Amino acid sequence: MQQAAFGAGCFWGVQFEFDKLTGIEKTIVGYMGGKTKNPSYEQVCTDTTGHAETVYIEYDEQSISYEQLLELFWTIHDPTQKNRQGPDVGSQYRSVIFYYTEEQKMLAVKSMERFNASKHFINK
């Protein structure tokens, strides 16, 4: 199994979208990217821990590629909204990709460049 992690707003909606894909073996919601160890929801909502609501994914790369995960990531939210997604406001709702390998980093950067060049911004 391979690993991936994405933040794209409220983690429940993000998890719902990734769970629909064939090849996703497990998803877990939580917080990543901050400085407080094991923060509570209340702590994260103070906007002082630095965490983002994130979905951790385990996937079978024989069934789905990391590029396909990135494609879904870009289409389920508007990464141009700073520290928010729709009605959810706060840095914990920011758009973020956490990578586990250098290849994932390279693919994520390339996908971001393609997204930015496309000027395809959704309205949520």
- Asked if pLDDT for residue 39 goes beyond 50, the answer is yes
Span 35-55, average pLDDT:
94
CB atoms within 10 A of CB 108: 20
* pLDDT tens digits along 80-123: 888 888 888 999 999 999 999 999 999 999 999 988 887 665 54
In a domain, 35, yes or no: yes
10: which residues sit within 8 A by CB, 6+ positions away? Answer: 53, 85, 88, 93
- In angstroms, rounded to a whole number, what is the distance separating the alpha carbons of residues 38 and 40? 7
In a domain, 123, yes or no: no
117 secondary structure, DSSP code: H
DSSP-based three-state secondary structure for 1 = coil
Catalytic residue, candidates 10, 14, 57, 70: 10
What CATH number did the domain enclosing 80 receive?
A: 3.30.1060.10
Per the annotation, the verdict on 10 as an active-site residue is: yes
pTM above 0.75, yes or no: yes
The domain in which residue 101 lies consists of: 2-118
Strand partners of residue 29: 55
Span 72-83, average pLDDT:
89
In a domain, 93, yes or no: yes
In a domain, 85, yes or no: yes
Total number of domains in the chain: 1
Span 34-59, average pLDDT:
95
- Asked if pLDDT for residue 6 goes beyond 90, the answer is yes
In a domain, 21, yes or no: yes
